[in-house]
Structure 1
Amino acid sequence: MAGDEGDWWFCLKHMKAEHGPGCPNKDRMGPYASQDAALHAMERARERNEQWRERNED
């Protein structure tokens, strides 16, 4: 889909993906290359946090 690539963010305030300018950066995660990547930002963050937690327990 045209305009679907680059400059995607996940808004922590509204819990949704945003393209281009949107909420302040303090309320967003990103940028991401695609809408799909932004939509899965929280899932990816949880996975990374779990991996870091496991490493720290070793």
Structure 2
Amino acid sequence: MSDNDGDWWFCLTHMKVEHGPGCPNKDRMGPYRSQADASNALELARERNQAWRAQDDDDD
């Protein structure tokens, strides 16, 4: 299994990366293209949330 074969997820229940079938999708973030992308899921979400908040502040 290579790092770039798709369907990588970050499980919010177990706080770990999963590949392919795993925990229910309602408990996961993804899919991501690589294991590295999935392992960075929480940081990516944090960055996106900050950007959205900044955009909302600009719209006020």
Task: Determine the C-alpha separation between the residues in 2 that align with 1:35 and 1:44.
Answer: 14
TM-score, L = length of structure 2: 0.90
Per residue, is there more strand in 1 or in 2?
1
Unpaired segments ≥5 residues, structure 2: none
Distance in 1 (alpha carbons) for counterparts of 2:39 and 2:32: 9
RMSD, aligned CA: 0.8
In structure 2, C-alpha distance between the alignment counterparts of 1:55 and 1:24, rounded to whole Å: 32
Question: Partners in 2 of 1:13 and 1:55 — Cα distance?
Answer: 30
Structure 1: 5+ residue stretches without partners: none
TM-score (norm 1): 0.93
Q: Which 4+ residue blocks in structure 1 deviate beyond 4 angstroms?
A: none
- Give the secondary-structure state (helix, strand or coil) at the position aligned to 1:42: helix
Identity %: 68
Give the distance between the partners of 1:4 and 1:11, measured in 2 at CA.
17
